[in-house]
């Protein structure tokens, strides 16, 4: 299993993603303080890893479904979901990601 713990920033919502391979699909368990992500979690229960990591054929299902439930385009949760999937599918090693934001002077 792979786990992503996501602190979304100013909104203060926390999300935990557990990804586990089940044959060729990746099952997802997503818990969140955010109502929009809770809605996404109820609908996004499994994905195909190769579709999630590439824009070559179609947009990742995670992004398609997030656009329907989450009104905030800059939400980091969809990317966190995809990162957990790629780690669980053996397509990446676990490594923290970071975006540091500030006002430029």
67-97 confidence digits (pLDDT tens):
999 999 999 999 999 999 999 999 999 999 9
Residue 76 burial (CB < 10 Å; 0-12/13-18/19+)? Answer: middle
pLDDT band at residue 35 using 50, 70 and 90 as cut-offs: very high
pTM to 2 decimal places: 0.94
- Could you give the CA distance from residue 80 to residue 88 in angstroms, rounded to a whole number? 12
pLDDT of residue 82: 97
Domain annotation covers residue 104: no
- Could you give the CA distance from residue 9 to residue 98 in angstroms, rounded to a whole number? 12
Domain annotation covers residue 20: yes
Domain annotation covers residue 98: no
Domain annotation covers residue 96: no
Tell me which residue range forms the domain holding 66.
2-88
- Could you give the CA distance from residue 91 to residue 88 in angstroms, rounded to a whole number? 8
Number of domains observed in the structure of the chain: 1
């Amino acid at each position: 299993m792979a786990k992503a713990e996501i602190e979304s920033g100013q909104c203060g919502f926390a999300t935990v993603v557990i990804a586990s391979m089940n044959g060729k699909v990746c099952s997802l368990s997503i818990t969140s303080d955010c109502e929009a992500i809770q809605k996404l979690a109820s609908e996004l229960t499994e994905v195909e890893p190769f579709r999630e990591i590439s824009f070559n054929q179609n947009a990742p299902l995670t992004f398609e479904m997030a656009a329907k439930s989450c009104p905030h385009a800059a939400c980091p949760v969809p990317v966190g979901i995809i990162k957990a999937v790629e780690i669980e599918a053996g397509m990446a090693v676990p490594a923290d990601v970071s975006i540091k934001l500030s006002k430029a002077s």
